[in-house]
Amino acid sequence: MFRLLFGIIFKLILYFVILSVIWVVVLKVVPVWVTPLMLVRKAEASAEGRSTEIYHDWESYENISKEAALAVVASEDQNFPNHWGFDFEQIQDALSENRKRVRGASTISQQVAKNVFLWNGRSYIRKALEAYFTVLIELIWGKERILEVYLNVAEMGKMTFGVEAASQRFYNKSAKDLTRYEAARIAAVLPNPIRFSIKNPSSYVNSRTGKIVRQMRALGGQKYIADL
């Protein structure tokens, strides 16, 4: 009985690994048109009687301002070009700051793994799967593709996903034409895009925008992400 059960579990794990690798390989070249979070937001809007329209327009990395790419790296994950999916120094810093409640220390790679393949939550199973998919996309996609997907699927406002949709909706222009300050303001709302607004920024968002602009300059500008 034990051997039978072990065999079933082994086969399930093997099938999962094979299917997940195929899934990641496909999404290396195919645009990510929908994510679990988009479906959650639609369901929430429907339950509340609001419009369920999702604002999401996929754009290739070449058609997105590199100021936008630099802004999210500067604000979310400054070690992105150098790490292999996990920033252990940031994790250690987060743990040492408050042992009872750990602040977010997720890299852009981890956020992409969660947004594209998984659901929101804090269970150990989800975190383990997040780590697994983070390793896969680092190995199979590479940095530029990871950043491209992040810029296209990250929640950047109410029912708004991706920098192109945010740029069109709040700046009435394409993401390829974003200025440094505009890109920084988009990045400034990423900690909580439901609470914070790009169109009507609070004093906190304006302050954070200025800080991100300074960080972008300190990193050396666009050349910092030129060789991803």
Output the pTM of the full model. 0.91
The count of domains in the chain is 2
8, 117: one domain: no
Q: Is 112 helix (H, G, I), strand (E, B) or coil?
A: helix
CA dihedral (188, 194, 200, 201) positive or negative: negative
202, 183: one domain: yes
pLDDT of residue 101: 41
pLDDT of residue 214: 97
pLDDT of residue 98: 54
pLDDT of residue 115: 95
115, 167: one domain: yes
Full domain range(s) for residue 205: 31-225
Alpha-carbon distance values, 223 to 64, 152, 164, 179, 184 (Å): 15, 21, 22, 16, 17
12, 50: one domain: no
Residue 52 has pLDDT above 60, yes or no: yes
User: Residue 141 sits in a domain of what CATH number?
Assistant: 1.10.3810.10
Pairing of strands 155-157, 160-161: antiparallel
36, 131: one domain: yes
DSSP lists the bridge partners of residue 204 as: none
Residue 14 has pLDDT above 70, yes or no: yes
Lowest mean pLDDT among 56-60, 90-94, 153-157: 90-94
pLDDT of residue 92: 63
Angle of the 203-218 helix axis to the 180-188 helix axis, nearest 10: 120
110, 213: one domain: yes
Tens of pLDDT, residue by residue over 157-199, are: 999 999 999 999 999 999 999 999 999 999 999 999 999 999 9
**Can you tell me the distance from the alpha carbon of 115 to that of 121, in angstroms, rounded to the nearest whole number?**
11
High-pLDDT (> 70) share of the chain, %: 93
Tens of pLDDT, residue by residue over 87-118, are: 877 666 655 555 444 445 699 999 999 999 99
Q: Which of 146, 132, 109 is nearest to 228 (CA)?
A: 146
95, 207: one domain: yes
144, 173: one domain: yes
